[in-house]
A and B are shown apart, each in its own frame.
Chain A
Amino acid sequence: MPAIRFSIRFLLAGVLLASIGVLSAVGAGPTFFPDDPIWTDPISQDVKAATRYEPDLVFQTVANLFGQPGDPVLGQRARNINTVDEVPDGPFYVNRAGKLPLTPEIVARASNTSDGPAAGPWTVISAKSDGITPGFTIRDSSNGLWFIKFDPPGWPGMATGTEVVAAKLFWAVGYHVVEYHIEHLVPSNLRIGAEAKITPSGEAERRMQPSDVEWLLSKAMRDANGSYRVIASRAAPGRPVGRIRFDGTRADDPNDIVPHEHHRELRGYSVFAAWLNHVDAKGINSLTSLVTENGRTFIRQYLLDFGSALGSGGIGPTELWEGSEPLVEDGKDITRRAVAFGVLIPEWRTTKFYVAPSVGRLPADPAHWNPASWRPHITNAAFRHARADDTFWAANKMTFITDAMIDAAIKEGQFNDPPSEQMLAKMIRARRDRILQTYLTDINPIVEPALAGDGRLTFRNAAVDARVAAAPSGYEASWSVFDNATGQSRPIGTSTAATTSIQAPSLPAADFIKVDLRATGGANEAWSRPVSVFFRRADGWSLVGFDRMPGAPAAAQARQP
């Protein structure tokens, strides 16, 4: 039973945390290792026996709507980050925005390594017959495996274009995303594979017939010339073994040692999903693949299926409530509204929208959107565990996504509707800006500290640089000598400056220096709470540690997405 499994897991986690505290007290290990900070998650073990497990959507929905799977203690710091508060490259995530020199052209290309399915006939291997909109799995003439999806009737370009835009931008911020292409399917180009099967509603599985293809196509948007605009997504490398889980670890993956609710990139996924209104951000819209590279077999996690994002609901425009309320509203809200005889009107019922067949339904005035009030259909353990340093991390990544990159991604969507593309760009930009305004200012926004050999400390204020907050009146740095073996620090002085450059007092001949750095007179009271920065002496000073919320009470900083 899951309850028992959870209990055992939490018991083990509690023992682990308690033991760490004891070990710290007795000085059992160093705070920083010589290779800190690491920027790639070590994969030291082959995954030898991964079994495919497809989590059930209904179970996931029920479990997250009416329960809280995962670690019950909110407010804990992410555990998969390196010592400088960043996410190393790994199975879920690769540092791109802010790390790579991204350009609009790179974002437009994203994960694509080909021009799409090879020319020639497409052979249907299987069909998706249970959904409202059809889908095919095909092999192209080069034996490449692709998944084909369509736009719903009456909404040409909406689902396919949206999927491309979202995929490009999720790739840019760092997630693993498969290859996506807009293609045009001519029915005469389809061949039914010898092994192709279909299970029509109410019937047993049988061999697919041409009439089945015709029936499936009848549910898709057909262009005037008889062709169908489709999105072709290339099968991810490797063997599918399941979907991303947002709590716990995979039982069959030895490299997976951090419960997923404590992964920063999965917590931060809530911010990116809010940005792109990816209300369907749930496990079933992901893929866990077993891949072999450089002689090592390991698991990589992909995000998939962005058809319900931005203004698209996949089978039609996004519903009015989507993004504002979860699939099932909060019980207290329902009760309040029930006894109020309808006077308490949800905001989404009065919001103005822009609706167009090419992009679906977009908020007419995105400038007043509140990212903290965004809700996916169903939340998950990682989203629930997100705290201020996680959302700051995500927002800071988004500062590197420029308007030109957004425009480049939208262009790849091929909406063929310039006014609507402008509205889409306006929405994505405005929501990015609102996220920066909300999450960069919500916590001490100091980033990229560096200590020069002459003792001059420099850094950036991410909120000020993003022009979402005024510069504070000054900064204050409290300096300490840090003992890496014991974790103890010894104060050596304080210095202040009006700018983001502060001179240290005379620094002793220590191996590690700790600086508690805070803003004074800042836009938010939270800015006065210091970040802790650690430097190691090695051919000058190098950044070795960073904590944006040092000493944060365990649960006080928790958020409830």
Chain B
Amino acid sequence: MLTLAVALSSSVLAQDTREQQIAAAQAEKVKTLGDEAPSGAETTIVRVMKSPLLAGTGGVFPWFGSVYEGTSFGFGGGYLRRMPRRSELVAVAGLSINGSTVLRGEYTAPRLARGTIQPFASVEWARANGVSFYGLGNETITAQRTDYNFDPLTIKAGLGFRPASLILLTASVERLGFRTEVTQPALAFSAGPLPSDNSSLQFNGVRVGAAFDTRTSPGYSTRGTLLRATTAFYSETSHQPYDFQQSQLEAVQLVPLVREQFVLAFHALATFTDGSGGDSPPLALLPYLGGGATLRGFGTRRFVDRDSLLLTGEYRWRPSRYVDMALFLDAGQVATVREQMAWDRLHTSWGIGARFHGPGFMALRLEYARSAEGARVVFTTGGPF
């Protein structure tokens, strides 16, 4: 009947009362007392959780991501130092599976003017191996593929100004230099000096932008609107004929249904590039379609030209608060001039995917996409838009 646990011993069994029986068991335990302390597993988990990556504190952390789009999965290490007033310094070194590398340093300065102004500066050098190029235009064929290596060095400084919680204005200046090196024979380069030549170019750039964003987080959201416009002017420093202007318009609309059980997501992205005074924008900096975030059923950078238009629609459903599923349809085209764009020139791809995310970030995206050129699997860390 009695279910009070007792330690078995002759002294326990010899008791005349319940209290004596329990007291005897307690006396037995005195012989085996120890410290109340964490287990080895708990100690290990605590150590892991206190790492800078997970705890958000300063120090060294492992890094996973993309060195440069289309160069396979990358990994490496970083260092984060948090400083007063939300300022921080981040340094990352990464290496991708195909040997591409990146070195990046970012400094976010203390906020000014009651937190409305955020100065920042960054420097990044990448060595991207095997960047694909299929030629210019919307009708290129896969057999035209050429690979080149690309090593941009970007030094940037700027300000973010948030006059209202939903509005962000940005301005930055940058110094961009790069060199390309063709590694696979070029078959059909019809325009532009790069990547078909191996010369170096240096640009001074100025970029301004404005965004209206009601999403809960740029990294992951289930509702809200993003309207964004940026324009940038690049001037070749040695007066070679490659000055250009590039503008981008983007709209995202997330429509939650049934308390976010479903989300209809729409994305439009248009990029326009113009050479200044007849100059030619460098091919390596032209907009492209194809890859994990644009036309997902096509190879990375499958279509390149001065202007591009991407339209995406997704039906998302949420089997978990940490997992989204999506059926998606991408449509896009590139053109040398805007007037060439037409509905019947759109390339399309569709697919299904799963996204693993936190409240405000996308940790992992796994998608299967199909297009007229076959099927592709997307495995990446960021969201599609």
Chain A residues near B (Cβ < 8 Å): 1-3, 5, 15-16, 19-20, 23, 28-29, 31-36, 38, 41-42, 44-45, 49-51, 53, 55-56, 58-59, 62-63, 77-83, 200-203, 241-242, 250-259, 262, 320-321, 325, 328-329, 333-338, 340-342, 344-346, 349-350, 534, 545, 547
Residue of B nearest to A81 (CB): B3
Q: Give the shortest distance, in Å, between B303 (CB) and chain A (any CB).
A: 31
Contacts of A335 in B (CB 8 A): 319
Instruction: Choose one: B3, B33, B57; the contact of A79 (CB below 8 Å).
Output: B3
Tally of contact residues, B, Cβ under 8 A: 56
Contacts of B29 in A (CB 8 A): 45, 254-257
With A202-B82, A250-B36, A257-B4 given, name 9 new contacts (CB 8 A): A2-B41, A35-B17, A45-B26, A59-B38, A254-B27, A257-B22, A334-B320, A336-B319, A338-B320
Residues of B72-97 contacting chain A, CB below 8 A? 82-84, 88
Does B34 have its Cβ within 8 Å of any Cβ on chain A? yes
Instruction: Choose one: B3, B16, B36; the contact of A34 (CB below 8 Å).
Output: B16
Contacts of A534 in B (CB 8 A): 1
Instruction: Choose one: A1, A38, A58, A259; the contact of B40 (CB below 8 Å).
Output: A1
Query: Can you give 20 A-B contacts (C-beta < 8 A)?
Result: A2-B41, A16-B8, A44-B22, A56-B38, A56-B42, A62-B45, A202-B88, A242-B36, A251-B34, A255-B26, A257-B22, A258-B5, A262-B5, A333-B320, A334-B319, A337-B320, A338-B319, A344-B319, A349-B258, A349-B259
Does B317 have its Cβ within 8 Å of any Cβ on chain A? yes
- Complex Cα distance, B35 from A45, in Å, reads 16
Q: Which has the most chain A C-beta neighbours within 10 Å: B29, B82, B262? A: B29
- Complex Cα distance, B40 from A59, in Å, reads 11
Q: Give the shortest distance, in Å, between A349 (CB) and chain B (any CB).
A: 4
**Contact between B19 and A16, CB atoms less than 8 A apart:** no
**Contact between A34 and B17, CB atoms less than 8 A apart:** yes
Contacts of A337 in B (CB 8 A): 317-320
**Contact between B18 and A36, CB atoms less than 8 A apart:** yes
Contacts of B322 in A (CB 8 A): 328
Residue of B nearest to A56 (CB): B46
Does B354 have its Cβ within 8 Å of any Cβ on chain A? yes
Does B141 have its Cβ within 8 Å of any Cβ on chain A? no
**Contact between B1 and A545, CB atoms less than 8 A apart:** yes
- Complex Cα distance, B22 from A171, in Å, reads 27
Q: Which has the most chain A C-beta neighbours within 10 Å: B16, B259, B317, B319? A: B319
Contacts of A201 in B (CB 8 A): 82
Contacts of B84 in A (CB 8 A): 200, 202-203
Residue of B nearest to A544 (CB): B1
**Contact between A33 and B3, CB atoms less than 8 A apart:** no
Q: Give the shortest distance, in Å, between A314 (CB) and chain B (any CB).
A: 15
How many A-B contacts at CB < 8 Å in the complex?
187
Contacts of A5 in B (CB 8 A): 39
Contacts of A15 in B (CB 8 A): 8
- Complex Cα distance, B259 from A350, in Å, reads 7
Contacts of A2 in B (CB 8 A): 39-42
Known: A1-B41, A2-B41. A345 touches B261 (CB 8 A): yes
Q: Which has the most chain B C-beta neighbours within 10 Å: A29, A42, A49, A78? A: A42
Residue of B nearest to A550 (CB): B1
Contacts of A31 in B (CB 8 A): 1-2
Known: A202-B57, A350-B259. A82 touches B46 (CB 8 A): no
- Complex Cα distance, B22 from A540, in Å, reads 28
**Contact between A28 and B4, CB atoms less than 8 A apart:** no
Residue of B nearest to A342 (CB): B317
Q: Which has the most chain A C-beta neighbours within 10 Å: B35, B83, B88? A: B35
Contacts of B39 in A (CB 8 A): 1-2, 5
- Complex Cα distance, B41 from A290, in Å, reads 26
Does B338 have its Cβ within 8 Å of any Cβ on chain A? no
**Contact between B25 and A257, CB atoms less than 8 A apart:** yes
- Complex Cα distance, B45 from A336, in Å, reads 31
Q: Give the shortest distance, in Å, between A205 (CB) and chain B (any CB).
A: 13
Does B21 have its Cβ within 8 Å of any Cβ on chain A? yes
Instruction: Choose one: B1, B30, B318; the contact of A254 (CB below 8 Å).
Output: B30
Residue of B nearest to A262 (CB): B5
Does B58 have its Cβ within 8 Å of any Cβ on chain A? yes
Known: A1-B40, A34-B17, A59-B46. A49 touches B33 (CB 8 A): yes
Q: Give the shortest distance, in Å, between A305 (CB) and chain B (any CB).
A: 21
- Complex Cα distance, B49 from A345, in Å, reads 33
Instruction: Choose one: A328, A333, A338; the contact of B325 (CB below 8 Å).
Output: A338
Q: Give the shortest distance, in Å, between A49 (CB) and chain B (any CB).
A: 7
Contacts of B262 in A (CB 8 A): 342
In the complex, the 4 A-B pairs of residues with the closest C-beta atoms, listed nearest first: A342-B317, A202-B82, A337-B319, A44-B23
Contacts of B232 in A (CB 8 A): none
Contacts of A251 in B (CB 8 A): 33-37
- Complex Cα distance, B29 from A537, in Å, reads 35
Q: Give the shortest distance, in Å, between B132 (CB) and chain A (any CB).
A: 33
Q: Give the shortest distance, in Å, between B67 (CB) and chain A (any CB).
A: 28
Does B323 have its Cβ within 8 Å of any Cβ on chain A? yes
Q: Give the shortest distance, in Å, between A392 (CB) and chain B (any CB).
A: 16
Q: Give the shortest distance, in Å, between B321 (CB) and chain A (any CB).
A: 7
Does B7 have its Cβ within 8 Å of any Cβ on chain A? yes
Does B166 have its Cβ within 8 Å of any Cβ on chain A? no
Chain B 273-308 interface 0/1 with A at a Cβ cutoff of 8 Å (1 = within): 000000000000000000000000000000000000
**Contact between B1 and A547, CB atoms less than 8 A apart:** yes
Residue of B nearest to A255 (CB): B26
Does B60 have its Cβ within 8 Å of any Cβ on chain A? no
Residue of B nearest to A15 (CB): B8
Q: Give the shortest distance, in Å, between B314 (CB) and chain A (any CB).
A: 12
Contacts of A336 in B (CB 8 A): 319
